[in-house]
């Protein structure tokens, strides 16, 4: 019988954390899911660990291997092999509450007839039980760009998408770059779709030293085109004004480091006036980063 949900885990040299996910998925009160592990070119024993999970035959698992290219490329790759109605990305060092799949299926059944919805959003908690940020002020329908980009700091959430819609908005992939802001996909979706938010925490995580979040500054400065795309999307009208200002400054700084001239930056910008205003100070920041990080 075809499953409802794919739990997509992109992973790179994190074999020691996969056991926690495996245990949490065995404990799910609803087993209407498949776990898809996408190995982004690991050099540890990830393949052997994944194969041992599959051999145990305790839950439905598939394992895919690809050349290392960054988390976003692993997500794109995995999407090609997904046929379930829903998809959720579960990072390799995180895990779900025991009722996560049950909550997701219940939410889907309650809202599957809603029009122009790309998915559902739930809360995340730290491993000590504290929530990431605050609960939604209300449950129900919301737009990502108008709500979650309404301030500079975006609280972490767990987003479950309709797979077919997610496939239409893959992450951009730039040669030689291994990072792009995860919100780029959601911002693009938000032009046409809303989401249903629920104040139920189903995702458990903490930031690990050496993880993607911990090393994001270094990754961004070596993934300048991806950074420019994210910042340009974050300058769209309707995004909180402080975020638009910050994004304009970073867009210019990344462009400077990439040797993109000011004329092209302005012409390609979603906020050309802001881009023009911030360019002089952005060049100073760019020069500072270039020296500090030996770019």
Q: What is the pLDDT of residues 37-67, one digit of tens each?
A: 999 999 999 999 999 999 999 999 999 999 9
Q: State how far the Cα of 19 lies from the Cα of 1, in Å rounded to an integer.
A: 26
DSSP E strands, the chain: 5-11, 33-40, 61-66, 86-89, 95-96, 117-125, 140-142, 157-162, 194-204
Q: How far is the C-alpha of 148 from the C-alpha of 136, rounded, in Å? A: 10
Which tokens go with 277?
Answer: 């205003």
Using an 8 Å Cβ cutoff, are 198 and 270 in contact?
Answer: no
The number of CA neighbours under 13 Å toward the Cβ of 170 is 13
pLDDT at residue 209 in the model: 55
Q: SS3 breakdown of the chain: % helix, strand, coil, rounded to 5?
A: 40, 20, 40
pLDDT confidence of residue 273: 97
The pair of structure tokens assigned to 223 is: 């993934």
Predicted local distance difference test score (pLDDT) of residue 214: 43
How many helices and strands (H and E) does the chain possess?
A: 12, 9
- How does pLDDT run across 10-28, given as a tens digit for each residue? 999 999 999 999 999 999 9
- Which residues in the chain show pLDDT less than 50? 212, 214
Asked whether 185 and 118 are in contact (CB, 8 A), the reply is: no
Among 57, 80, 64, 83, CA closest to 1: 83
Cα 194–chain centre separation: 17
């Amino acid at each position: 019988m075809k499953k409802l949900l794919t739990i997509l885990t992109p992973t790179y040299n994190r074999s020691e954390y996969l056991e926690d996910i495996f245990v949490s998925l065995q404990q799910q009160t609803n087993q209407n899911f498949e776990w898809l592990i996408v190995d982004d070119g690991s050099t540890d024993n990830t393949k052997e660990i994944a194969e041992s999970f599959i051999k145990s035959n305790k839950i439905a698992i598939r394992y895919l291997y690809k050349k290392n290219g960054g988390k976003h490329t692993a997500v794109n790759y995995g999407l090609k092999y997904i046929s379930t109605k829903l998809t959720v990305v579960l990072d390799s060092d995180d895990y779900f509450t025991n009722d996560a799949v049950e909550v997701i299926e219940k939410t889907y059944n309650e809202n599957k007839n809603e029009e122009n919805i790309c998915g559902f959003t739930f809360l995340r908690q730290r491993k000590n039980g504290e929530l990431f940020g605050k609960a939604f002020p209300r449950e129900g329908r919301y737009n990502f760009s108008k709500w979650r980009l309404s301030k500079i700091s975006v609280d972490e959430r767990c987003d479950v998408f309709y797979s077919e819609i997610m496939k239409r908005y893959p992450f951009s992939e730039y040669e030689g770059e291994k990072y792009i802001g995860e919100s780029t996909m959601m911002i693009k979706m938000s032009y046409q779709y809303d989401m249903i938010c629920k104040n139920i925490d189903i995702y458990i995580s903490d930031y690990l030293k050496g993880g993607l979040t911990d090393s994001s500054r270094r990754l961004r400065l070596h993934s300048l085109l991806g950074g420019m795309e994210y910042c340009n999307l974050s300058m769209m009208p309707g995004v909180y004004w402080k975020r638009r200002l910050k994004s304009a400054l970073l867009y210019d700084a990344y462009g400077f480091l990439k040797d993109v001239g000011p004329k092209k930056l302005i012409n390609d910008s979603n906020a050309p006036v802001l881009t023009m205003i911030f360019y002089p100070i952005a060049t100073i920041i760019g020069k500072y980063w270039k020296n500090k990080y030996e770019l």
